Structure 1
Amino acid sequence: MKKDSTMKRVLKLLKPYTGFIILSLIFALGTVISTLMIPVLEGRAVDHIIGKGKVDFSGLLFVLKEIAAVAAVTFFCQLFMNLINNHITYSVAKTLRQRAFERLLRVPVKVIDSESHGDIASRIVTDADSFTDGLLLGFTQLFTGIMTIAGTIIFMIRIRFTIALIVIAATPVSLLIAKFISGRTYRYFTQQSKDRGDLTEYIDERISLEDLVSQLGAGELSKEEFVKKNNKLTDSATKATFYSSLTNPSTRFVNAVIYAVVGVVGAFLAVAGSISVGELTSFLGYAREYARPFNEITGVITEMQNAMACAARIFEIIDQDQVEDCDGEFDGEVKGAVDMEHVDFSYVPEKPLITDLNVKVNPGEKVAIVGPTGAGKTTLINLLMRFYDVNAGSVKVDGRDIRTVSRNALRSRFGMVLQETFLFSGTIRDNLTLGKPDATDEEIIEASKAAHAHEFIRKLPDGYDTVLSPSGTLSQGQKQLLCIARLMLALPPMLILDEATSSIDTRTEMKIQDAFNKMMKGRTTFVVAHRLQTIRDADMILYMENGHVLEQGNHKELLAKNGYYAKLYRSQFMS
């Protein structure tokens, strides 16, 4: 994304805060005027000190009181300006984060699958913080800096036009240096943000897979890879910081030269009697005040380069195409008839996966999907849930194409338990009621008992109010029991079970299988299975390979065919 277009979008985000910005400008103007009054008052104070024994103490005291009053005004103007600027910048950052996260909830699943999860998190959290820092500096120092420059020029011209021309004439040198350097920092800040996201992703991955890394003895390899990524981030961050840090000292040098020239010229004029010592003091004060904003503004420009680079990365998330959805609803209760007619699908256009798939499932039937790894079993589930849409053909539920109903309407009719467990930070009760928020305590306990989870939940420190973390202290089997209990509590008309008991001991699995059989009665169920003993009673078994259904029938029929399924079955039970 180009820097100019990023800036336009940031300005658009600021539009709702126009009133606050105007108020901030008023306080900024008050800060500048009161600040610029002090050199004038300092000059007057100096002129009241005429010489040894010739000090106008009453006049000096009056000027000192004026300086104190002006300083108080400056303090309160700066205080209110900063409070307003903080409100604007952090509100904008909050809006930016919220829009990015909301878009993530609406983008196609393939977008999430194709992006680094750590990098996405880095964009929404770290990059948003960096953007806030840059924007805050812009509001705090850019406004006051520009006004200070304009104000000092006016005050200097009033004192002595010829000296003011020296300062003004040298100003473009500072601007050209700042522009030259800052124009080259943007790409380094962009690379720094990207490298930071890569490192965040790697750290997150290695922490979540710590047990596996230790088991495989891959600690040294992980360390070496971390060092590479860390060095890459260090390199890009060092370059960004180095080039950006050149701006301030370069402009400070130019401004110091200007200040020295003003001092020398002013001294000659004072000796000649053209200006008073007090006026020279005021002029030097203004020369100092004139130089200060340039140093601050160059720092702001550097931070803004980083802020715009970070904002561009967040806008990339916001600009992702969101899922096109409709607001259609099913007519009445869903019975569970599923028809897949002439379905074609591929994750990558040039690599077809499923071609001309036809499956008809009657309401209440149990359908088992088996086959080798990569056969397309999970893909079939993805199509049923509309995590991905078919490239051709149609998937129908109760005779209605699922693309004509909203995703929420479709997915609320399905319940899923996957081989990989998904629990969120929160209490056990919160996790169990995700699919049925209004469930009563009795219903929660009944579902937990059916899933054989009640006993271990009861033994936890706070029972159903025990707070879980993503890692937690529960075993994998206990986590899977909670997922099963969650499904049994919601009880939608259609079920998807993908190796739902893979982490549970055999004895408990046999008990849960009885509960599953009761739950599946009258509900259309799709079971993805590797252990074929769990699906021998299925009404229909689909044997898939390379995206094609090669065999279809019940257990006895497929054994009688003596084909792919029979071969797979015998390999498990007759080896």
Structure 2
Amino acid sequence: MSTTSTPSPAASPEPTPAAPGAKAPERPAYAAQAGRSGGPFGGARVAEKSLNFLPSLRRLLGELQPERWVLLGAVLLTVVGIGLSVMGPRILGQATDIIVAGITGAGGLDFYRLGTTLLLALGLYVVSSLVLLLQGYLLNGAVQRSVRRLRDGVEAKVHRLPLSYFDRQTRGELLSRVTNDIDNVAQSLQQTLSQLLTSLLTVVGVTIMMFVISPVLAVIALVTIPVAIGVTTVIGKRAQKLFVAQWKSTGELNSHIEEAFTGQSLVKVFGRQREVEQVFADKNDAVYRASFGAQFVSGLIMPTMFFIGNLNYVVIAVVGGLRVASGTMTLGDVQAFIQYSRQFTQPLTQVASMANLLQSGVASAERVFEVLDAEEQTVEGVVTLPPVRGRVEFEHVSFSYTPEQPLIEDLTITAEPGQTVAIVGPTGAGKTTLVNLLMRFYDPQSGRILLDGVDVTTIPRALLRSAVGMVLQDTWLFHGTIHENIAYGRPDASEADILAAAEATYVDRFVRSLPDGYDTVIDEEGSNVSAGERQLITIARAFLADPTLLILDEATSSVDTRTEVLVQKAMAALRSARTSFVIAHRLSTIRDADVILVMEAGAIVEQGSHTELLERRGAYWRLYEAQFAAAAE
């Protein structure tokens, strides 16, 4: 084992971002850079961006591209359905003329012709409804499949994002984007696409029929269009920013709720319920104000359009009545035209009312696109990893989480196969950072890390990590049985292997005392087993995985002294014939390590065995004295 390192004179305490499930890092400068708000459970302060409506809308509609043939079929069905529907008022107008002619004429009412005309109108309406029903079915399927692909894309993207992205993003904010925002996109597309398509085609069909009946009245009706467009544009621009603020505030509120619920015990211990409730109230009020403003402003479109439509209706009724009186139009034509004028203004009103839903959906889509556009981790390597012996080399490695805070500079370490390398030092010295670099949660800015002579950046991450077993200070257990949590280390393991791992790590000892044994279901927080028992389960999981490299980050910090002695024996067996990196604060746990590295400010300041380092009376001796001599005094 050999090490060389050039310490950084400007090195500052390590921000220590950790692997998933690792202990939460402290990185004040990093958090400030990311824009996080201060205070307890304050959530994230996400930078507000203006809504770039048209480009985002085009991109959102581009998500429907794989469904283009289904959408084309839906459009054709809509054309047929609307075409049949707009013929109805014209035929009903003819029925009115038949009735008027029968009442005023000498021949009497022609019931056969009247019945045939009414049945024709009824048939058109029935067929139109069935066609539009099929259109809705096709469109609904296309939208839901597109949203499913979008959700799949976000899920896949999350797994390609580097760990630094999650350091900058609170879980609640990210969850809000991949749940609330995607759901809002689905709802907006579902409600607007069918309605917009039907409404626009209805406007076209009705306009044609109005010109067929009376070009003069049609021109009067068309005055509604520029007025409607002007009103929708003015109100819509004001609503855009409000919808962005609405979903931004919703993300912040979700972030706060997630933090507060997860840290309930901490809140109660420090008596900060009132402060947490006040932060919730403030963020809840922000969501209320933004949502109320967005819905109120966009809601002005509907009543305004109704008012314009009613004015148009009055003008058409007056002019149409005068033309009937002058004999230039029949009563049936006026009746049909009034129906068309209603059908003309109603879809315009619906289109205007859909504007708020569309704006809300595009605002949510933009937040989802920000996740999809986030910078991904570096490209995966393609080298096939041979059977791993376990020789690990750090060659002149330099790394920092932020450029202004150098951490590790020119670090060189060599760990031989089968060695147990213990890493000790004060908090923030860079211990966990070495593990993060070895696991490729982060890549160094310069230098190389070699595994059996192969640069780890050329090895696919999944393949590299499959050779490594990790046991972290903060345990991670999922909702499931104890048996399933242990088997997570090696899904194809036999029942005998799982029981052997449990017995070797002393899990079997406490599991036998549980009513359901290995079928005991662990809840999401793991609160139905103790902290030490949770840690034993994670050790059993690593034992079952049988990795070539083993990383133990304060792996026995939560177990009692008696259990620690037993676990140390199990860990000694687990470390046998494999390279192990052990990060420890309790120096009693690493006395038998082959080599102990003492880190300070990202540099290796001492190395040697436990006895050798005590004899030197240097940095390790001072740590040892601080733990044992001071305690004895």
**Is 1:573 matched with 2:625?**
no
Q: Which residue of 1 aligns with 2:277?
A: 223
Q: Which residue of 1 aligns with 2:74?
A: 24
Report how far residue 238 of structure 1 moved: 1.4
Q: Which residue of 2 aligns with 1:293?
A: 347
Tell whether the 8 Å contact from 1:119 to 1:198 is kept in structure 2 after alignment: yes
Measure the CA separation in 2 of the matches of 1:259 and 1:460. 77
Q: Which residue of 2 aligns with 1:410?
A: 464
Any stretches of 5+ residues in structure 1 without a counterpart?
none
Q: State the Cα deviation string for residues 276-324 of structure 1 (Å, max 9, x = none).
A: 2111110000000000111111122221111111111111111112222
Question: Of 468, 493, 499, which aligns to 1:439?
Answer: 493
Q: State the Cα deviation string for residues 328-357 of structure 1 (Å, max 9, x = none).
A: 345532111111122111000111011121
The range that moved more, 403-412 or 378-387, is: 403-412
**Is 1:522 matched with 2:522?**
no
- Aligned residues: percent identity? 38
Q: CA RMSD in A?
A: 1.7
What residue identity is the alignment partner of 1:322?
Answer: E
Q: State the Cα deviation string for residues 381-425 of structure 1 (Å, max 9, x = none).
A: 111111001111111111222112111121111100101111123
What residue identity is the alignment partner of 1:542?
Answer: L
Distance 1:461 1:270, change over 3 A: farther
**Is 1:45 matched with 2:58?**
no
Question: Of 319, 339, 362, which aligns to 2:416?
Answer: 362
* Corresponding residue SS for 1:151: helix
Tell whether the 8 Å contact from 2:385 to 2:463 is kept in structure 1 after alignment: no
**Is 1:14 matched with 2:64?**
yes
Measure the CA separation in 2 of the matches of 1:38 and 1:496. 76
* Corresponding residue SS for 2:447: strand
Measure the CA separation in 1 of the matches of 2:349 and 2:622. 78
Tell whether the 8 Å contact from 1:96 to 1:314 is kept in structure 2 after alignment: no
The range that moved more, 563-572 or 544-553, is: 544-553
Question: Of 600, 606, 612, which aligns to 1:545?
Answer: 600
Any stretches of 5+ residues in structure 2 without a counterpart?
1-50
Measure the CA separation in 2 of the matches of 1:7 and 1:382. 40
Question: Of 132, 150, 155, which aligns to 1:96?
Answer: 150
Q: Which residue of 2 aligns with 1:491?
A: 546
Measure the CA separation in 1 of the matches of 2:255 and 2:385. 44
Report how far residue 461 of structure 1 moved: 5.5
Q: State the Cα deviation string for residues 464-487 of structure 1 (Å, max 9, x = none).
A: 444433224222222212111110
Report how far residue 59 of structure 1 moved: 2.9
Report how far residue 191 of structure 1 moved: 1.6
Q: Which residue of 2 aligns with 1:509?
A: 564
Q: State the Cα deviation string for residues 110-162 of structure 1 (Å, max 9, x = none).
A: 01111121111111111011111111122211111111111011101111111
Measure the CA separation in 1 of the matches of 2:384 and 2:262. 40
Q: State the Cα deviation string for residues 89-112 of structure 1 (Å, max 9, x = none).
A: 111111111111111101111011
Q: Which residue of 1 aligns with 2:451?
A: 397
TM-score (norm 2): 0.88
Distance 1:339 1:288, change over 3 A: same
* Corresponding residue SS for 1:203: helix
Q: Which residue of 2 aligns with 1:533?
A: 588
* Corresponding residue SS for 2:238: coil
What residue identity is the alignment partner of 1:30?
Answer: V
Question: Of 256, 260, 263, which aligns to 1:206?
Answer: 260
* Residue pairs, 1:123-522, within 5 angstroms: 123-329=177-383, 331-460=385-514, 462-472=516-526, 473-522=528-577
Tell whether the 8 Å contact from 2:385 to 2:459 is kept in structure 1 after alignment: no
Q: Which residue of 2 aligns with 1:113?
A: 167
Measure the CA separation in 2 of the matches of 1:461 and 1:276. 87
Tell whether the 8 Å contact from 2:381 to 2:457 is kept in structure 1 after alignment: no
